[in-house]
Amino acid sequence: MAPAIHDADTLSLDELMKRLKDLVSRARSGRLLRAEMADPTVTVTNLGDLGVESVYGVIYPPQVAMIGIGRVSEQAWARNGMLGIRHVAVATLSADHRVSDGLRGARFLNRMNELLQEPEEL
């Protein structure tokens, strides 16, 4: 089961977290609405808090894509000719090619990376 938060892209972070908490509570108690379980959606799964380095998702219809987030780790990183340590997490994307293509997926992952470089701006 992959319950959905509708119109998540239009919500503030506070409202999104409020709806997520409510959705998880209702999912665990078996009180989800049919539309929350049947609409095509993108699923985000974070197994990083369990120590998993990367997630390779398997899409189960009606899902159209899955974004997997792995754990944050320190890694050597070269930038502007300098080598340093940086916090890095692996993000993966599995998508249904009947709905989208690799170019759109690559653009999405690149944009997500850009946004996460300055989380205070979100």
Residue 97: active-site member: yes
- State the residue for tokens 């390779």: 56
User: Which tokens belong to 17?
Assistant: 């977290």
Which residues make Cβ contacts (< 8 Å) with residue 105, sequence separation at least 6?
65, 93, 95
Pairing of strands 41-46, 63-69: parallel
Whose structure tokens read 């690559």?
Answer: 106
Q: For residue 23, which amino acid is it? A: L
Beta carbons within 10 angstroms of residue 17's beta carbon? 11
CA atoms lying within 13 Å on the CB side of residue 113: 13
**Among residues 97, 98, 118, 122, which one is catalytic?**
97
Residues annotated catalytic, as ranges: 97
